């Protein structure tokens, strides 16, 4: 798959955003349909390339690795470069492992803001509309072939950090996840699917 | 002459009693847990005791707020914490409030260049800076990037995270509505530590009262909201109250029982009053003797006063019979003295016990029994009318005699029971002993459960494995902790341990702080090196001005002292791990094993050996669980050995006095049978034996030997009428013993109930078996 440069991604996203507004109502109706499509996925494996743009750093930081998802609530993100790191989400527990460091274990129940953030990705992958609606206001634009889902945090604590999360895809495949932070920093993760079972 | 002698005896007696009263008036009575905390024979065990005495453990009060809803509980928690902080009674009150959390974060961030273990001259070379900053940049794109980002501009070398990393693995309570809550969220939890030491039980009791009253006065409390508390000091106060309350109640109840029983049998207030004289004299002498020997008397020792009531009352009961002319005096006193001697042999092992409480019990019982016997022998005759008219008990005597004659035919029964009991004991092999020292603690199971829950809620560290050493002053103590810390870091690297805590993590020694300050380059050098370090990195030096100015500020600032920690939760860490003792400092460094649930989570020798190289004073690695198990094993073995010796002495005494192996056997057999039967009954009832049960068995031998002796001697020499009299009085004496120990057995204090149950059961068995076995031949004699 393509390795889209950030400007193009941003441009497309902007285009979608602008174009989508008048049709928002119509697309809103498609949300359950998209969610249903997404919910068909039983498990998926993919590679990712994530670019993080941070104000204080002069150029985007690139990290690469693998993703795997098993419905309904298991998600693994294995970063290979620049620093090996393993993030595992199982039900309500998030663990982060780094070589030579102690394993970090976070209970989502105790950290609502992390939970909300995690739900944006997991909820989308699992097609869990009610989970998404708990934490975000949703806006869907585009067609089933090329959709863009914009999540705006409802919770103040999360809203202070992220202004919005944009997820784009084609039918049941998620292609990019973009995080926009309040301070202007943002990141784009491009996902390339390897295998998929429904 | 006779009259003069009588006056001398009474005068001496009264003088003795007066002296005892004077001593007792000056005696300090204690009722804390110390008596049943063993005297620590080894340096390691002394550390444990000191940790309680001087350390923070004795001062911690865990508080839980229950009832109402989560938001309400969190609000009460904040309000309670605020008000308690203002009382001045507490050194600190923690409840996870955001203000403390902010102070904690500030402390670590502001002081990172004095606290971070990475600060060495090499860290600030061009290569060192480059590596550290590159590391942080890489972390920025990782899953914890958001945290790193917040710190990056002022802390590009990642010191804050590095030093927080040291605490990883120590769990914190969860936070609900801005205050600590239990895992299940149903309870708000707080931690208060008092200014007064844990040994000041009075002050601890006041602190607990203040918490309770402050909570009661909180505004807008929901009806069902309540406060619960636990902790060593709460236990100490509770057990003091329990002991004080129960000892008085138990002693009065058993006295009342004995009085009623004696009244029922003798129907004479005069005889009753006189009959209690040996008991009261014995008690006074016993308490005075304990006071003289130990300097203080434990409340529980008084609780055992019933041991005296049980046995000393017997003497006066026997004496009345003798005075009423129904027992041969010379023969009677021989039996009494032999009984006293065997009892003393039975109590004597306690004198050598490592438990101060048991040693007190030994002194109390022996001196009390001797006094009671002497008063019975010399004072009672001077007071009791020469012609004593006893109520006619012959009808009861005949009836009893008939029953006992039938019982004598059941000689196989005790032996059979004993054999069955041995079977039961074997069936329980391996689960006979309760190895838990807490089995002796007077704290109820419910309270222990609450304690465990609050401990879990608060994420209190597992303090099973610890490194401990002492140092003459605070700075040397912290330097020692740093030295030991270096060894321990090596052990983490070699995967011997997973981690450790140290007071030097949050408060490094002045020497180390100065060394770290000296490692920081001056402004010009720092800028120059940073510029070179940033070559090839995507950060411009202009963005890191905050870093450069923070470095310079850290270089010249005043080093941290304990006072800088005030208001942070790190203060608690230092206070609990750096303990000011009477003349030196004790340092504790808890270790985290890799796998807590493994059978042997940590081989302490693999830690002990490398630590020896530090040459720190008395440095030891302690496995608390192992230590307390060993302690129990040692004391149990000690008491077992001493009991065996006591039994041997009793047999020797009997052999010497009875001058016949077969007569001795007749006295000893019922005792052996009753001891095995009681043990079997206790085990079968689900009890696991503690040291106190052993002591109870010892008392069974001491008291039961009297019954066996009387039955045996009655069978040998007494007339049938004498024998019937004696049997009635033995039954009365036995009932008083069974009754008074039975009452003791009802106590909720394990120490008392263990002895009470064992002795009351055992005394009953001893009487029955003695009647069946020791009485032996009489049943076969023609009447």
Residue B434 sits in which domain range?
395-452+624-783
CB contact under 8 A, A58 and B538: yes
Are A49 and A3 in contact by the 8 Å Cβ rule? The answer is yes
> CA-CA distance, B61 to B45, in Å (whole number)?
24
Q: Which residues from B are below 8 Å from A88, CB to CB? A: none
> CA-CA distance, B202 to B233, in Å (whole number)?
10
Are residues B677 and B760 both part of a single domain?
A: yes
Are residues B629 and B746 both part of a single domain?
A: yes
Question: Rounded to 5 degrees, what are φ and ψ at B179?
Answer: -145, 155
pLDDT at position A83 is 85
Taking chain B, what is the end-to-end CA distance rounded to the nearest angstrom? Answer: 43
pLDDT at position B482 is 94
In a domain, B211, yes or no: no
- Say yes or no: A52 contacts chain B, CB-CB below 8 A: yes
Q: What percent of chain B has pLDDT over 90?
A: 27
In this predicted structure, the answer to whether residue B779 has a pLDDT above a threshold of 80 is no
Query: Most B CBs within 10 Å: which of A78, A110, A162, A179, as the mutation test of the B interface?
Result: A110
pLDDT at position A23 is 42
Here the CATH number for the domain that contains residue B363 is 1.20.1640.10
Closest residue by Cα to residue B220 from B94, B78, B92 = B78
Q: Which residues from B are below 8 Å from A62, CB to CB? A: 141
pLDDT-based confidence at B762, cuts 50/70/90? Answer: very high
Q: Would strands B187-194 and B90-94 be described as parallel, antiparallel, or unpaired?
A: antiparallel
User: Which chain A residue is nearest to residue B183, measuring alpha carbons?
Assistant: A110
- Say yes or no: A18 contacts chain B, CB-CB below 8 A: no
Query: What is the 3 state secondary structure string of B615-654?
Result: CCCCCEEEEHHHHHHHHHHHHHHHHHHHHHHHHHHHHHHH
Instruction: Tell me: cis bond preceding B729? Omega within 30 of 0 counts.
Output: no
In this predicted structure, the answer to whether residue A18 has a pLDDT above a threshold of 50 is no
pLDDT at position A25 is 44
Taking chain A, what is the end-to-end CA distance rounded to the nearest angstrom? Answer: 21
Are B142 and B164 in contact by the 8 Å Cβ rule? The answer is no
Radius of gyration of chain A (CA): 16
DSSP B705-722: HHHHHHHHHHHHH--HHH
In this predicted structure, the answer to whether residue A10 has a pLDDT above a threshold of 50 is no
In a domain, B428, yes or no: yes
- Name the residue with higher pLDDT: B357 or B541: B541
> CA-CA distance, B213 to B83, in Å (whole number)?
11
Task: Work out the average pLDDT over A115-131.
Answer: 82
Between vectors from CA B162 to CA B157 and to CA B168, what angle results, nearest 5°? 160
- Name the residue with higher pLDDT: B79 or B338: B79
User: Among A47-61, B396-410, B485-499, B531-545, whose mean pLDDT is lowest?
Assistant: B396-410
Q: Would strands A186-197 and A93-97 be described as parallel, antiparallel, or unpaired?
A: unpaired
pLDDT at position B407 is 78
Out of B139, B145, B539, name the one closest to residue A56 (CB).
Answer: B539
Count the neighbouring beta carbons within 10 Å of the beta carbon of residue B559: 17
Helix axes B356-374, B269-294, angle to 10 degrees: 140
C-beta contacts of B46-51 below 8 A and 24+ residues apart: B47/B468, B47/B586, B47/B620, B47/B622, B48/B622, B48/B624, B48/B627, B50/B579, B50/B581, B50/B586, B51/B579, B51/B586, B51/B588
Task: Work out the average pLDDT over B64-85.
Answer: 92
pLDDT-based confidence at A20, cuts 50/70/90? Answer: very low
Are B191 and B94 in contact by the 8 Å Cβ rule? The answer is yes
pLDDT at position A49 is 94
Q: Which residues from A are below 8 Å from B144, CB to CB? A: 96, 104
In a 3-state reduction of DSSP, which class is residue B153? coil
Are A66 and A12 in contact by the 8 Å Cβ rule? The answer is no
Q: Would strands B60-66 and A93-97 be described as parallel, antiparallel, or unpaired?
A: unpaired
- Name the residue with higher pLDDT: B291 or B223: B291
Are residues B307 and B420 both part of a single domain?
A: no
- Name the residue with higher pLDDT: B662 or B438: B662
Task: Work out the average pLDDT over B125-153.
Answer: 88
In a domain, B403, yes or no: yes
Query: Of B343, B373, B391, which marks where a domain is finished?
Result: B391
Q: Which of B137-141, B601-605, B763-767 has the highest mean pLDDT?
A: B763-767
pLDDT at position B42 is 65
Query: Biggest alpha carbon distance in chain A?
Result: 52
> CA-CA distance, B212 to B204, in Å (whole number)?
12
Distance of CA B744 to the CA centre of its chain: 20
Any idea how long chain B is?
A: 783
Averaged pLDDT of chain A: 79
In this predicted structure, the answer to whether residue B475 has a pLDDT above a threshold of 90 is yes
Task: Work out the average pLDDT over A50-73.
Answer: 89
Owner of token pair 């100490």: B236
Q: Which residues from B are below 8 Å from A85, CB to CB? A: 142-143
User: Which chain B residue is nearest to residue A97, measuring alpha carbons?
Assistant: B143
Q: Which of B287-291, B321-325, B600-604, B717-721 has the highest mean pLDDT?
A: B287-291
- Name the residue with higher pLDDT: B111 or B387: B111
Q: How far is CA B43 from CA B470, B567, B637, B718, B783, in A?
A: 11, 34, 20, 58, 67
Distance of CA B570 to the CA centre of its chain: 29
pLDDT at position B432 is 80
Task: Work out the average pLDDT over B66-82.
Answer: 92
Token reading at A152: 């705006």
Query: Of B524, B559, B594, which marks where a domain is finished?
Result: B559
Task: Work out the average pLDDT over B555-574.
Answer: 89
Averaged pLDDT of chain B: 84
Closest residue by Cα to residue B749 from B245, B237, B202 = B245
Out of A52, A98, A101, name the one closest to residue B140 (CB).
Answer: A52
pLDDT in tens, A64-112: 999 888 877 888 889 998 889 898 888 778 888 888 777 777 777 666 6
pLDDT at position B328 is 66
pLDDT at position A24 is 41
User: Which chain B residue is nearest to residue A187, measuring alpha carbons?
Assistant: B141
In this predicted structure, the answer to whether residue B663 has a pLDDT above a threshold of 80 is yes
Are residues B376 and B406 both part of a single domain?
A: no
Token reading at A32: 């359950």
Which domains, from first to last, does chain A contain? 6-197 (2.50.20.10)
Task: Work out the average pLDDT over B588-616.
Answer: 82
DSSP A54-113: -TTSSS-EEEEEEEEEETTTEEEEEEEESS-EEEEEETTEEEEE-TTSPPEEEEGGG-HH
Are B55 and B233 in contact by the 8 Å Cβ rule? The answer is no
Q: Would strands B28-30 and B296-298 be described as parallel, antiparallel, or unpaired?
A: parallel
In this predicted structure, the answer to whether residue B597 has a pLDDT above a threshold of 80 is no
Token reading at B611: 């630590």
Rounded to two decimals, what is the model's pTM?
Answer: 0.71
User: Among B37-41, B81-85, B500-504, whose mean pLDDT is lowest?
Assistant: B37-41
> CA-CA distance, A184 to B130, in Å (whole number)?
27
Owner of token pair 């059961």: B761
Are B86 and B217 in contact by the 8 Å Cβ rule? The answer is no
Are residues B378 and B427 both part of a single domain?
A: no
pLDDT at position B439 is 65
Radius of gyration of chain B (CA): 34
In this predicted structure, the answer to whether residue B14 has a pLDDT above a threshold of 80 is yes
- Residue B188: its H or E element: strand B187-194
> CA-CA distance, B639 to A31, in Å (whole number)?
78
pLDDT at position B519 is 94
DSSP B292-357: HHHSEEEHHHHHTHHHHHHHHHHHHHHHHHHHTT-S-HHHHHHHHHHHHHHHHHHHHHHHT-SSHH
User: What number of helices (H) and strands (E) belong to chain B?
Assistant: 30, 13
pLDDT in tens, B234-292: 888 887 888 778 877 887 888 888 888 888 877 888 888 888 888 889 989 999 999 99
pLDDT in tens, B546-560: 999 999 999 999 999
Are residues B642 and B771 both part of a single domain?
A: yes
Are residues B642 and B759 both part of a single domain?
A: yes
pLDDT at position B2 is 65
Helix axes B305-323, B691-717, angle to 10 degrees: 10
pLDDT at position B438 is 62
> CA-CA distance, A1 to B328, in Å (whole number)?
116
Task: Work out the average pLDDT over B137-144.
Answer: 83
Out of B140, B144, B499, name the one closest to residue A96 (CB).
Answer: B144
In this predicted structure, the answer to whether residue B545 has a pLDDT above a threshold of 90 is yes
User: Which chain A residue is nearest to residue B179, measuring alpha carbons?
Assistant: A110
C-beta contacts of B650-657 below 8 A and 24+ residues apart: B650/B342, B650/B345, B650/B346, B650/B701, B650/B705, B653/B338, B653/B341, B653/B342, B653/B345, B654/B338, B654/B342, B654/B705, B654/B709, B657/B334, B657/B338, B657/B341
Are B107 and B568 in contact by the 8 Å Cβ rule? The answer is yes
User: Among B155-159, B648-652, B717-721, whose mean pLDDT is lowest?
Assistant: B717-721
CB contact under 8 A, A96 and B174: no
In a domain, B481, yes or no: no
Domain count, chain B: 3
Q: Which residues from B are below 8 Å from A75, CB to CB? A: none
Token reading at B709: 């002796």
Task: Work out the average pLDDT over A128-139.
Answer: 86
CB contact under 8 A, A110 and B141: no
pLDDT in tens, B334-389: 888 888 888 888 888 888 877 777 888 889 989 998 999 999 888 888 887 776 66
Are residues B639 and B772 both part of a single domain?
A: yes
In this predicted structure, the answer to whether residue B121 has a pLDDT above a threshold of 50 is yes
User: Which chain A residue is nearest to residue B536, measuring alpha carbons?
Assistant: A58
- Say yes or no: A70 contacts chain B, CB-CB below 8 A: no
In a domain, B44, yes or no: no
> CA-CA distance, B253 to B156, in Å (whole number)?
74
- Say yes or no: A102 contacts chain B, CB-CB below 8 A: yes
In a domain, B50, yes or no: no
Q: Which residues from B are below 8 Å from A77, CB to CB? A: 143
pLDDT at position B168 is 62
In a domain, B781, yes or no: yes
pLDDT at position B109 is 92
Are residues B728 and B780 both part of a single domain?
A: yes
Helix axes B445-457, B232-266, angle to 10 degrees: 180
In this predicted structure, the answer to whether residue A11 has a pLDDT above a threshold of 70 is no
Are A192 and A174 in contact by the 8 Å Cβ rule? The answer is no
User: Among A170-174, B434-438, B644-648, whose mean pLDDT is lowest?
Assistant: B434-438
In a domain, B611, yes or no: no
Query: Of B559, B575, B594, which marks where a domain is finished?
Result: B559
pLDDT at position B506 is 92
In this predicted structure, the answer to whether residue A132 has a pLDDT above a threshold of 70 is yes
Could you give the ipTM of this predicted complex? 0.79
Count Cα neighbours of B415 within 13 Å in the Cβ-side half-sphere: 9
- Name the residue with higher pLDDT: A98 or B517: B517
Are residues B367 and B425 both part of a single domain?
A: no
Min CA distance, A105 vs chain B (Å)? 9
Residue A87 bridge partners (DSSP): A77, A96
Are B404 and B780 in contact by the 8 Å Cβ rule? The answer is no
- Residues of B near A (CB-CB distance < 8 A)? 137-146, 149, 152-153, 165, 168-169, 174-175, 498-499, 538-540, 543
Are residues B719 and B759 both part of a single domain?
A: yes
Are residues B356 and B441 both part of a single domain?
A: no
> CA-CA distance, A54 to A52, in Å (whole number)?
6
């Amino acid at each position: 798959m393509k390795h889209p440069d950030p400007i193009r991604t941003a441009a497309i996203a902007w285009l979608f955003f602008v174009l989508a507004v008048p049709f928002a109502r119509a697309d809103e109706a498609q949300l359950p349909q998209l969610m249903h499509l997404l919910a068909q996925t039983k498990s998926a494996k993919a590679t990712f390339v994530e670019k993080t743009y941070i104000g204080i750093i002069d150029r985007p930081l690139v990290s690469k690795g693998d993703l795997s998802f098993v419905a309904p609530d298991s998600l693994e993100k294995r970063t290979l470069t620049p620093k090996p790191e393993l993030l595992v989400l199982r039900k309500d527990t998030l663990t982060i492992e780094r070589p030579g460091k102690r394993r970090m274990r976070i209970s989502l129940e105790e950290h609502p803001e992390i939970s909300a953030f995690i739900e944006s990705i997991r909820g989308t992958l699992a097609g869990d509309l009610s989970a998404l609606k708990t934490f975000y206001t949703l806006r869907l634009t585009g067609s089933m072939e090329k959709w863009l889902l914009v999540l705006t945090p409802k919770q103040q604590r999360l809203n202070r950090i992220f202004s919005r999360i944009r997820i784009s895809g084609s039918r049941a495949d998620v292609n990019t996840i973009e995080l926009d932070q309040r301070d202007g920093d943002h990141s784009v993760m491009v996902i390339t699917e390897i295998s998929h079972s429904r | 002459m006779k009259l003069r002698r009588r006056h001398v005896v009474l005068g001496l007696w009264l003088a003795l009693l007066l002296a005892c009263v004077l001593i007792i008036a000056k005696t300090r009575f204690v009722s804390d847990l110390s008596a049943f905390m063993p005297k620590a024979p080894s340096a390691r065990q002394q550390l444990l005791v000191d940790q309680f005495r001087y350390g923070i453990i004795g001062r911690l009060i865990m508080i839980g707020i229950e009832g109402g809803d989560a938001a309400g509980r969190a609000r009460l928690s904040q309000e309670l914490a605020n008000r308690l902080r203002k009382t001045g009674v507490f050194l600190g009150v923690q409840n996870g409030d955001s203000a403390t959390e902010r102070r904690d974060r500030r402390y670590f961030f502001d002081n990172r260049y004095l606290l971070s273990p990475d600060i060495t001259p090499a860290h600030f070379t061009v290569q060192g800076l480059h590596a550290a900053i590159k590391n942080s940049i890489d972390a920025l794109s990782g899953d914890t990037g958001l945290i790193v980002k917040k710190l990056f501009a002022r802390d590009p070398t990642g010191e804050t995270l590095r030093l927080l990393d040291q605490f990883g693995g120590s769990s914190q309570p969860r936070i609900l509505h801005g205050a600590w809550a239990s895992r299940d969220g149903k309870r708000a939890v707080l931690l208060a530590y008092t200014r007064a030491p844990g040994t000041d039980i009075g002050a601890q009791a006041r602190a607990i009262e203040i918490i309770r009253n402050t909570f009661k006065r909180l505004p807008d409390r929901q009806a069902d909201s309540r406060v619960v508390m636990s902790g060593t000091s709460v236990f100490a106060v509770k057990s003091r109250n329990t002991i004080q309350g129960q000892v008085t109640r138990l002693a009065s109840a058993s006295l009342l029982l004995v009085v009623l029983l004696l009244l029922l049998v003798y129907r004479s207030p005069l005889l009753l009053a006189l009959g209690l004289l040996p008991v009261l004299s014995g008690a006074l002498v016993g308490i005075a003797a304990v006071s003289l020997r130990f300097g203080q008397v434990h409340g529980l020792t008084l609780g055992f006063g019933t041991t005296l009531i049980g046995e000393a009352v017997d003497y006066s009961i026997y004496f009345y019979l003798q005075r009423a002319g129904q027992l041969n005096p010379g023969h009677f006193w021989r039996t009494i003295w032999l009984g006293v001697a065997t009892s003393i042999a039975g109590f004597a092992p306690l004198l050598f016990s490592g438990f101060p409480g048991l040693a007190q019990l030994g002194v109390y019982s022996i001196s009390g029994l001797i006094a009671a016997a002497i008063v019975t022998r010399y004072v009672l005759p001077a007071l009791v009318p020469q012609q004593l008219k006893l109520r006619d008990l012959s009808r009861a005597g005949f009836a009893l005699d008939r029953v006992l004659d039938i019982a004598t035919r059941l000689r196989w029964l005790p032996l059979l029971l004993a054999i069955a009991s041995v079977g039961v004991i074997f069936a329980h092999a391996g689960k006979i002993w309760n190895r838990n020292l807490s089995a002796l603690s007077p704290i109820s199971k419910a309270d222990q459960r609450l304690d465990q829950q609050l401990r879990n809620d608060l994420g209190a560290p597992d303090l099973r494995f610890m490194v401990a050493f002492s140092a003459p002053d605070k700075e040397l103590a912290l330097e020692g902790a740093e030295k030991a810390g270096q060894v321990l870091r090596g052990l983490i690297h070699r995967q011997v341990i997973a981690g450790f805590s140290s007071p030097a993590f949050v408060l490094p020694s002045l020497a180390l702080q100065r060394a770290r300050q000296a490692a920081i380059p001056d402004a010009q050098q720092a800028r120059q090196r940073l510029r070179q370090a940033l070559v090839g990195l995507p950060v411009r030096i202009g963005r890191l001005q905050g870093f450069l100015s923070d470095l310079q500020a850290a270089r010249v600032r005043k080093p941290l002292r304990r006072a800088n920690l005030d208001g942070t939760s790190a203060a608690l860490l230092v206070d609990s791990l750096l303990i000011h003792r009477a003349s030196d400092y004790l340092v504790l460094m808890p270790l985290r094993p890799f796998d807590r649930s493994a059978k042997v989570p940590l081989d302490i020798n693999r830690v002990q050996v490398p630590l020896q190289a530090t040459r720190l004073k008395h440095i030891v690695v302690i496995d608390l669980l192992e230590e307390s198990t060993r302690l129990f094993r040692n004391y149990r073995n000690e008491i077992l050995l001493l009991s065996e010796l006591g039994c041997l002495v009793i047999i020797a005494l009997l052999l010497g006095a009875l001058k016949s192996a077969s007569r001795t056997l007749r006295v000893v057999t019922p005792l052996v049978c009753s001891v095995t039967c009681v043990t079997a009954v206790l085990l079968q009832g689900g009890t696991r034996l503690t040291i106190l049960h052993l002591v109870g068995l010892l008392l069974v031998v001491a008291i039961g030997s009297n019954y066996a002796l009387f039955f045996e001697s009655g069978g040998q020499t007494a007339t049938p009428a004498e024998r019937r009299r004696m049997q009635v009085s033995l039954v009365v004496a036995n009932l008083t013993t069974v009754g008074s120990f039975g009452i003791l057995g009802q106590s909720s204090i394990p120490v008392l109930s263990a002895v009470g149950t064992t002795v009351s059961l055992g005394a009953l068995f001893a009487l029955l078996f003695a009647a069946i076995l020791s009485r032996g031949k009489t049943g076969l004699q023609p009447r």
